[in-house]
Amino acid sequence: MPKEIALGWIDENEKHIIKISDKAWKYAELGLLEYKTSELLSKEIETHGFQLERGVAGMPTAFVASWGSGKPVIGVMGELDALAGVSQKAVPYKDPVVEGAPGHGCGHNIHGTSGMAGAIAIKTAMEEKRLPGTVKFYGCPAEETLVGKVFMVRDGLFDGVDACLSHHPSSANTAGTGSSNAMNSVKFHFYGKTAHAAGDPENGISALDAVELMSNGVNFMREHIIEKARVHYVTEVGGGQPNVVPAYARTWFYVRAPEREQVEYIYDWVLQIADGADKMARTTHEVEFLTGCYNELPNKGLSELVVGNMREIGAPVHTEEEIEFAKKMNESIPPVSKKEGLRKSERPGWEKMLDQLFDERVLDDYRAGKVGAGSTDVSDVSWVTPTIEFGTACYMLGTPGHSWQVTAQSGMSIGHKGLLFASKVIATSGLDLLTKPDRLKAVRDEWEERLAGRVYKPPIPADLAPPLDQLKKD
């Protein structure tokens, strides 16, 4: 059976898969700078006979690895980037490898490796059983800054894919049909004129005034937009010193909402407010569009397929040693944060889980119709091909997102368990899609129905280049 071959390959290569994940964990490179991680994963998959396209969509660290030919085409995604400031050793108390350095605080070392291992396992079974079709593994940079997949989708790299699988480390084994917020990320550069702020303020034009007026305008707008929208901003540059009227100021906005068209509506209003700020402060301004993304289009067919495979494989259980590690780490998580985290997760039975360390169940879909506040560029893929991003338990309950606790667990056996389980779920689900045309057709029919005739229009301008130097800016 193809599935047994794939699972057998993962079991035999367990140590090697973990080694790759741990290497990526050590590299811990920020978005668009994942040179070593990209090379690690792309070279590894190349040794298994995949054809490599490197540096795709204008990003040196993005790649596509393909094996096989013809239909169906199954995509698997793997993310590469780490987060700033969450460097941490694989120990249950806060102890950075390098203070303030990046770390895998979102577990993307596991994300990238589970996808790669799953894709190789699918290929191993396809080769041995001479199954028709193509498997593609996508090395996706800069998820945290919502860049990688948005540019890859815009440049057509997911065209012709029949369905796409993705795994994200989590504290639950779950493949839900919830969604995420669509978003725009944009900077406003305001220009004025310096003057002595006491001596001749009448000759000055304050760029900071424009930033403040814009913020005020947006805060008045808030009352009249849909409740579920989220608009947040930071003033990046507000001037030098009080006795000089600032000639330059800069503010950075995120606009989020459950549907892409709602983001566009609110964003258009924000642009008008920036024009208004110019009128009031007599400044001029430039808009720097950084990136945008869609809301996730869920797929019940894919959710059921993945959950079915999770149950068949069986979710990992934890050893005494891992329980001891978790107990120690639990001391760093205030009970109130754990409670609120569990409440927010809305997982079934959360009220009784306050004293529990792990959730080892495989959960039925409990997020149907719900929209998470965050945003992900996986969503953009979901508008061009049926897509699911499922979670496996790589962390203990109550682990805060983007934290040193995530980094720690992503580099030791608790994370490794979730990694191997996820690789198996990707392999078996991919093989189901390759070998069960009825299942794939149902998934695609559902996707068409949810699209309801809407066509994906890239949220980023056609000529926008990936912000390769964004992380080096002031």
Residue 68 or 391 with smaller CB distance to Zn ion: 391
Between residue 107 and residue 126, which ones bind Zn ion under the rule CB under 5 A?
none
Place of tokens 């990238």: 112
Residue 106 or 182 with smaller CB distance to Zn ion: 106
* Separation of CA 68 from chain center: 28
Among the candidate windows 103-111, 242-250, 350-358, 431-439, which touches Zn ion by CB under 5 A?
103-111
Among the candidate windows 102-110, 127-135, 388-396, 416-424, which touches Zn ion by CB under 5 A?
102-110
Among the candidate windows 27-35, 41-49, 99-107, 414-422, which touches Zn ion by CB under 5 A?
99-107
Q: Are 29 and 449 in contact (CB under 8 A)?
A: no
Residue 308 or 400 with smaller CB distance to Zn ion: 400
10 Å CB burial of residue 23 (0-12, 13-18, 19+) is middle
Tokens of 79: 């993310």
Least distance from Zn ion to the Cβ atom of residue 146, Å: 11
Residue 106 or 310 with smaller CB distance to Zn ion: 106
Between residue 171 and residue 230, which ones bind Zn ion under the rule CB under 5 A?
none
Residue 278 or 389 with smaller CB distance to Zn ion: 389
Q: Tell me the per-residue interface mask from 56 to 95 with Zn ion, x by CB under 5 A, - otherwise.
A: ----------------------------------------
Residue 111 or 136 with smaller CB distance to Zn ion: 111
Least distance from Zn ion to the Cβ atom of residue 423, Å: 17
Least distance from Zn ion to the Cβ atom of residue 402, Å: 8
Least distance from Zn ion to the Cβ atom of residue 325, Å: 22
Interface residue with Zn ion among 32, 59, 76, 106 (CB under 5 A) is 106
Residue 106 or 315 with smaller CB distance to Zn ion: 106
What whole-number distance in Å separates Cα of residue 397 and Cα of residue 399? 6
Residue partners of 316: CB distance under 8 A and separation at least 6: 360, 393, 417, 418, 420, 421
Place of tokens 């997949």: 149
What whole-number distance in Å separates Cα of residue 394 and Cα of residue 66? 28
What whole-number distance in Å separates Cα of residue 255 and Cα of residue 186? 9
Nearest residue relative to Zn ion (C-beta): 106
Among the candidate windows 106-114, 272-280, 357-365, 414-422, which touches Zn ion by CB under 5 A?
106-114
Least distance from Zn ion to the Cβ atom of residue 86, Å: 12
Nearest to 419 by CA among 136, 111, 176, 122: 111
* Residues binding Zn ion: number (CB under 5 A): 1
Least distance from Zn ion to the Cβ atom of residue 19, Å: 22
Among the candidate windows 9-17, 34-42, 100-108, 302-310, which touches Zn ion by CB under 5 A?
100-108
Least distance from Zn ion to the Cβ atom of residue 169, Å: 8
Radius of gyration over every alpha carbon of the chain, rounded to an integer in angstroms: 23
Residue 32 or 106 with smaller CB distance to Zn ion: 106
Residue 262 or 403 with smaller CB distance to Zn ion: 403
Q: Tell me the per-residue interface mask from 335 to 374 with Zn ion, x by CB under 5 A, - otherwise.
A: ----------------------------------------
Residue 110 or 263 with smaller CB distance to Zn ion: 110
Q: How many CA atoms lie within 13 A of 313 on its CB side?
A: 32
Amino acid at the residue 423: S
Least distance from Zn ion to the Cβ atom of residue 317, Å: 25
Least distance from Zn ion to the Cβ atom of residue 401, Å: 8
Least distance from Zn ion to the Cβ atom of residue 470, Å: 18
Neighbours of 97 (CB within 10 A): 15
Binding positions for Zn ion, rule: CB under 5 A: 106
